[in-house]
Amino acid sequence: MRCVKCRETAWVDLPSRNAAYCGQHYIEYFEGQTGHNIRSLKMFTPEDRILVAVSGGKDSLTLWEVLMRLGYKTTGFHIHLGIGVYSDLSREKTEAYARARNVDLIVVEVDEVVGATVPEVSKTLKRVPCSGCGLIKRYLMNRTAREHGFTVLATGHNLDDEAATLMGGVLHWQMDSLGRQAPALESTHPRLGRKVKPLYTFSEKETASYAVVRRIDYVVDECPNAVGALSLLYKDVLNKIEAESPGTKLRFFQGYLKNLRPVLDAASPKPELRECATCGEATTTEVCAYCRMVERVCRWKQRRVTPASAPSPAPSAT
């Protein structure tokens, strides 16, 4: 297999694009395509200050690397979720990456801001960990971006993520989430920032290949809570189809963006947003879902301080 640019031995084979590249030309292709994605959807300009959500995995570190190399002003944002060894390792890799490149990184501990780790929140809510985790991440990313004066929030979602979410939305006809899914979302309220996904046209294999060629040291293990998630099943099915018919994933997602999203966008009523009575963030309810969750966590913790474990009252003087 030869590089389509220089005819040297190719390192990365991309059947979906009918191409193969050596390391140097793969980097050129990947960075060029990311720049094109950013400009064609007007995601941001060199004047914007971008907060990059960084988990420590291949996609988010690749995104941060590419945006820096393209000359954009970025700061990393890492949320330590408290999911045992996985979270500790993710934080370590993210901090090591930022240190090695001498770039700014904001780190937030869920245990400190929410009062409990993601596994504890899951116990409290009696729901799967991803439910509380997703809510916490969305809330903290948006709030942190605004509080620190960033104009855009960028996440490392890749084509496999987007195609799997789309497949889930279609299989279950989740019209709400289908109408909201897009690689660039404008702000719909002064307290909600712009959100973008510059890597949305690259498969997981492509982002991993970029990380390997650039020698980025990322967390290889997936979150232990992802095991059994439906999204993994959808990714698996899509990869099987892709192997037989290269390019299907990209056509599926781009077809949705071109044909279905504009229709859903025009047809779906825009939710009435107001400010949460507790924290002031944008929400459709009196008190936002995040504040209601924190309130439940607080009550759960108070109940756990049983009379036996509570400190004894000081003896009264007689």
Strand 152-154 and strand 184-185: pairing? Answer: unpaired
Site for Zn ion in 21-80 (CB under 5 A): 22, 25
To the nearest whole angstrom, how small is the minimum distance from the Cβ of residue 135 to Zn ion? Answer: 11
To the nearest whole angstrom, how small is the minimum distance from the Cβ of residue 21 to Zn ion? Answer: 6
Tally the C-alpha atoms within 13 A of residue 195's C-alpha that lie toward its C-beta.
19
To the nearest whole angstrom, how small is the minimum distance from the Cβ of residue 156 to ligand Q46? Answer: 10
To the nearest whole angstrom, how small is the minimum distance from the Cβ of residue 144 to Zn ion? Answer: 15
To the nearest whole angstrom, how small is the minimum distance from the Cβ of residue 310 to ligand Q46? Answer: 32
CB nearer to Zn ion: give 202 or 290.
290
Rama region for 175: left / alpha / beta (φ>0; ψ in -120 to 50; rest): alpha
25, interface contact from ligand Q46, Zn ion, none, CB < 5-8 Å by kind = Zn ion
CB atoms within 10 A of CB 269: 6
Measure the CA angle with vertex 76, ends 73 and 80; round to 5°: 170
CB nearer to Zn ion: give 25 or 249.
25
Separation between Cα atoms, residue 89 and residue 301, nearest integer Å: 27
Separation between Cα atoms, residue 44 and residue 194, nearest integer Å: 9
**Nearest of 295, 270, 296, 297 to residue 284 by alpha carbon:** 270
226, interface contact from ligand Q46, Zn ion, none, CB < 5-8 Å by kind = ligand Q46
Interaction of residue 297 with Zn ion, rule CB under 5 A: no
Contact (CB, 8 A) for 17 and 24: no
Among 61, 118, 223, 276, binds Zn ion (CB under 5 A): 276
278, interface contact from Zn ion, ligand Q46, none, CB < 5-8 Å by kind = Zn ion
5, interface contact from Zn ion, ligand Q46, none, CB < 5-8 Å by kind = Zn ion
To the nearest whole angstrom, how small is the minimum distance from the Cβ of residue 281 to Zn ion? Answer: 5
User: Is 287 strand, coil or helix?
Assistant: coil
CB nearer to ligand Q46: give 20 or 83.
83
Binding residues (CB under 6 A) for ligand Q46: these are 81, 118, 129-130, 133-134, 223, 225-226
To the nearest whole angstrom, how small is the minimum distance from the Cβ of residue 50 to ligand Q46? Answer: 20
Interaction of residue 5 with Zn ion, rule CB under 5 A: yes
32, interface contact from ligand Q46, Zn ion, none, CB < 5-8 Å by kind = none
Beta strands in the chain (DSSP E): 12-14, 19-21, 49-53, 73-80, 105-109, 152-154, 184-185, 194-196, 274-275, 282-283
Separation between Cα atoms, residue 28 and residue 25, nearest integer Å: 5
Binding-site ranges for Zn ion (CB under 5 A): 3, 5-6, 22, 25, 276, 278-279, 288, 291
